[in-house]
Each structure stands twice: as C-alpha cells, then as structure tokens.
Amino acid sequence: MSTILETIEFNDEGFLIDPKAWNKEIAVEVAKQEGIAELTPEHWQIIEYCRATAEESGAAPTLRQITKGTGISTKQLFALYPKGPAKKVAKISGLGKPEGCV
C-alpha cells in the first residue's frame, strides 16, 4: 500500500471515510489499487463530475446519473472503470458507495 494511503481511513469496503480528506494524489493511488494504472483526462472528467454531484446531493451518483451527466456511454464507462464503474469511480473520487451498488 502506498504511504499516502496509510495515513487515510477507509471502511471495510475500501471507501474513504472522510470525503474531505480526498485529494488527487489519493485518487491516483486508489485507482492503482483498483487496477487503473493511469487516470486519463476522461477519468478526471468523470471523477470531477461525481465529486460535484455528491457535494450538491450528499450522495455518490449512480451509473445512470454519471452517463446522463457526463454524456459518456455506459460501454465507455465500463472501459474506463472495468467491473463496476459506479462503485469504482466512487472509491477513486473519495465518495461513499452509490445507492443500488452491491
């Protein structure tokens, strides 16, 4: 585990406990743990959308909200964030688990 992540608290499922503790360095390290070697501008667009949405609503956006809000297709989201994009992007964005995610 990266040294930056050793100083941050995560819950049992790997979600950041305090979203205010999040920063881009943490996002990069969490992404690596989630199997995403590099965060591209497309990744960051989605991360920034999710953080802004969560700040307004108080909850991580669902997959449907992400696709509608960013204009990125579900297929493209799965390519960027394989195996559960809403959950993965929420972790990387420092947010809680989205509603409806198992």
Per residue in 49-72, pLDDT (tens digit) is 999 999 999 899 999 999 999 999
DSSP per residue, the chain:
--HHHHTS-B-TTS-BS-GGG--HHHHHHHHHHTT-----HHHHHHHHHHHHHHHHHSSPPPHHHHHHHH---HHHHHHHS-S-HHHHHHHHTT-PPPTT--
Stretch 74-93: mean pLDDT:
94
The residues annotated as belonging to the active site are 101
Which residues on neighbouring strands pair with residue 10, listed in sequence order? 16
Lowest mean pLDDT, pick from 36-40, 72-76, 84-88: 84-88
Calculate mean pLDDT across residues 21-29: 94
